[in-house]
Chains A and B, each alone.
Chain A
Amino acid sequence: MEMKVETGKNIQVKDVSPSGMKIIWQEIKKDKLAMGSLIILVAILVFVYGASFFMDAKEIAKVDFLSIYLEPSSDYWLGTDYGGRDVFGQLIIGTRNSFTISLFITLFTAIIGLTLGLLSGYFGGATDNVIMRIIDFVIALPQMMFIIVVVTIVPVFNVYVFIMIMTLFLWTGKARLIRSKALSERELDYIHASKTLGTPHWKIILFQLLPNVSSLIIVNFILNLAGNIGLESSLTFLGFGLPESTPSLGTLISYARNPDVLENKWWIWVPASLMILVLMLSINFVGQALKRAADARQRRG
């Protein structure tokens, strides 16, 4: 996560003004909540990715009928589930899977949304009309139901297909947001001036329009990342998300659909729920702080 923000920042430093990113960084440093969230987030991610490196996913997924529903102990830090599998191990692997997959979904939706949004907003006219009609339609669909149906339909279902299906339905909001920003940018003098000078369209879009919508993209990317973690785990919770071979945080929580687990075996579902809450909230707090920082009117000082 940290890496992503940093690379995004570096690009902007080069492209916009040297002071832009500095202001945003100072803004975040002043915001104790955002700074705390960022530290917690980085700590969790370093721990999870580090620990999962030493863990054997196959060993954890092995069913052991002699140790079903054990309470937390020194052997099993967070007890075991109905198959006698270590909940702590599943929590680490699940966090890693949920985060990685949500990151890729966010990345792909960002690429599609950015491309179509910029084209639509910059060219306007017929291009805009066609793209917007598609967006209006996809956005009005009951997304969750459609994703569930498509997940059941596809002949081969694995992590990559899941990422593709999610991307297919989730790029629209971003495209619409970037389109509306691009639409207002293209009326500004710097774009008109470049057009008059005969700069080719692709150059204007890549080197002038893109840097000017970059802060919007970064903020939206971060907020979407949090949203996608929630959506992925919701779908897995319902049983239509990640395939069983790839445990996610939602898998652990889905055991709580059994009332006995929900009521009496907290160690199975509470840690995973807390993990999702902490991840989503801290990503959101960082995103909100960036949003404030990127908008001069809302800066705190």
Chain B
Amino acid sequence: MWKFILRRLLVMIPQLFLLSIIVFMMAKAMPGDALSGQEINPRANPAELDRIREELGLNDPWYQQYLRWASNAVQGDFGISYTHKTPVMDVIEDRLWNTVFLALVTLIFTYMLAIPLGILSGRYNDTWVDKTVTGYSYVGFGTPIFIFALIMLFIFGFALDWFPSGGSVDSKVDEGTFAYVVSKINHLILPALSTALIATTSTIQYLRNEIIDNKIKDFVRTARSKGVPESKVYSRHILRNSFLPIAAFLGYEITGLIGGAVIIETIFSYPGLGQLFLSSVSLRDFSVVTAIVMMTGFATLLGTLLSDIILSAVDPRIRIE
């Protein structure tokens, strides 16, 4: 087990290196730098612009810039945001927490919905309950999240006006008060629920199939023949075995949520990393873009690592190779 984890960690080092190189190259290849907007400004002195470029190190060869960038990045220093005029980490920090909160609440909603539905569907397979749940998960599988989120926003944010239609907190309440927390949660519900209702699909289907597969296995028949009551057959025998793979997908689930943040945050104008990413791309604030891509890339690599480790702990066959 430890050997597997160690080997898996070692694989991550070249991956991280490759990721950082790709991200850096992409940032360098972006059209223009933070100063090119000034070039059309008639009052800006070209010589002055060149001097600033030289000072920022924008004229050095790429590998020098990369080494400088990478060694700073390891220490959490991604440079200065050219549009916000503050260190990139300061710009990102608040947004990062917003995204983490959103992802957490989404994850909780997803499992709260998916686990009971998956169990019902698997336990009573081929009944109307199962057909309804399976129907829902088919529809969920085929629905792109941005359309579903727009519809949710239209219905609950505008037409019914039950939830705020944007932002992460009401601007009128003070930080640290109870009303602040309530407002924060209130802003989270709609985006989290929209994502969760679509994200349940794979968990429901997987759990259902696991339960149906396990139901006819010998250990279940043995338990039944020993006279174990039906509810215990499920809670002690079937569900325990069916939950293991679900737990292992937790990491992939997180990876998916981080990727989906761009869309959901744009639609609900939720000030998280995804929204910051899009606005920074448009503003060509490439130090912020690189930092965000690097961080999400790192997070997704970690998510995959987490899943691989849980999977190998659950299923020893994976470790053999």
Contacts and interface: CB of A to CB of B under 8 A. Distances in A.
Interface of A: 136-137, 140-146, 148-150, 152-153, 155, 226, 230-231, 233-234, 237-240, 253, 256-257, 259, 262-263, 269, 273, 276-277, 280-281, 283-285, 288
A147 B304 CA distance: 20
Contacts of B293: 142, 145-146, 149
Contacts of B18: 137
22 contacts: A140-B297, A140-B304, A142-B255, A145-B259, A145-B277, A145-B292, A146-B293, A149-B289, A153-B26, A153-B31, A226-B142, A234-B145, A237-B146, A238-B278, A239-B282, A253-B146, A257-B266, A259-B165, A259-B166, A280-B143, A284-B142, A288-B138
Contacts of A142: 255, 258-259, 293, 296-297, 300
A231 B300 CA distance: 19
A69 B262 CA distance: 29
B49 to A, nearest CB: 22
Interface string B286-298: 0001001100110
Given A149-B30, A253-B150, 15 more contacts: A137-B18, A140-B15, A142-B258, A142-B296, A142-B297, A149-B281, A152-B281, A233-B144, A234-B145, A253-B146, A253-B147, A259-B166, A263-B154, A273-B147, A281-B142
B153 interface: yes
Given A153-B26, A155-B31, A269 B150 contact: yes
B150 A144 contact: no
Q: Chain B at the A interface: mostly helix, strand, loop or mixed?
A: helix
B318 interface: no
Interface centre among B144, B150, B278 (most CB of A within 10 A): B144
Contacts of A137: 15, 18-19
Interface in B46-73: none
B301 interface: yes
A277 B266 contact: no
Contacts of A226: 142
B9 interface: no
Interface centre among A136, A143, A145, A288 (most CB of B within 10 A): A145
B296 A145 contact: yes
Contacts of A231: 144
Contact of A141 (B147, B154, B281, B297): B297
Contacts of A233: 144, 146
B228 interface: no
A273 B19 contact: no
**Which 10 A-B pairs give the minimum distances between C-beta atoms?**
A230-B144, A284-B142, A281-B142, A263-B158, A142-B296, A153-B29, A280-B142, A273-B147, A140-B304, A142-B259
Contact of A280 (B26, B31, B144, B154): B144
Contacts of A239: 278, 282
Given A145-B292, A148-B262, A262 B150 contact: yes
Contacts of B147: 253, 273, 276-277
A264 to B, nearest CB: 9
B223 interface: no
A76 to B, nearest CB: 22
Contact of A140 (B151, B255, B277, B278): B255
A145 B275 CA distance: 11
Contacts of B165: 259
B300 A140 contact: yes
A285 B138 contact: yes
Nearest to A150: B26
B263 interface: yes
Interface centre among A140, A263, A280 (most CB of B within 10 A): A140
Interface centre among A142, A269, A288 (most CB of B within 10 A): A142
Contacts of B259: 142-145
A41 to B, nearest CB: 12
